[in-house]
Amino acid sequence: MSTEGKTTGNVGERLACSMLDKEGYNIIETNYHAGRWGEIDIVAKDGQTLVFAEVKTRRDESCGLPEESVTPDKLRKLALAAEHYLLRHHLNDQAWRIDVVALGLTADNNLWYENHLKNVTG
């Protein structure tokens, strides 16, 4: 990933945390590494439900809307990463879901698009 892509992603993740916080979520952790299953951008609580959030950030729509890049394969890997988190933290009976936070940013990091998709499945 290019430096610009990492910067865009980092800005997007900070904005997504702020957005989820304003929606009443409790942010538990960011950038959780789940070994070969990859990384979970945000782990948060929505009431009693644990939320594993994937953040997708774009500067423009030339490649489509940000959420369109979350493929069924990516969702499968996110589910495996979520299961890794649950096992590692001994949360076998915990209710959980996967959300996607899609953001569009201008060159000066202002939002031109935001979409919070809850309970996304493949």
Alpha helices in 23-122 (DSSP H): 72-88
For 48, which DSSP code?
Answer: T
The two structure tokens encoding residue 42:
């945000």
List the chain pLDDT tens, one digit each, 122 residues: 444 556 878 889 999 999 999 999 999 999 999 999 999 999 999 999 999 999 999 988 888 899 999 999 999 999 999 999 999 999 989 999 999 999 999 888 888 999 999 999 86
Q: How far apart are CA 3 and CA 56, in angstroms?
A: 16
Indicate the pTM of the whole model: 0.91
Is 43 among the domain residues? yes
Q: DSSP labels for 4-46?
A: HHHHHHHHHHHHHHHHHHHTT-EEEEEEEE-GGG-EEEEEEEE
Domain count, the chain: 1
Residue 38 lies in a domain: yes
Q: Is residue 122 part of a domain?
A: no
CA dist., res. 101 & res. 94, Å (int) = 22
Q: How many CB atoms lie within 10 A of CB 36?
A: 8
What's the confidence (pLDDT) of residue 107?
87
Q: Which domain holds residue 12?
A: 3-117
pLDDT given for residue 5 in this prediction: 52
Please report whether residue 97 resides in a domain. Answer: yes
Any idea how long the chain is? 122
CATH code, 77: 3.40.1350.10
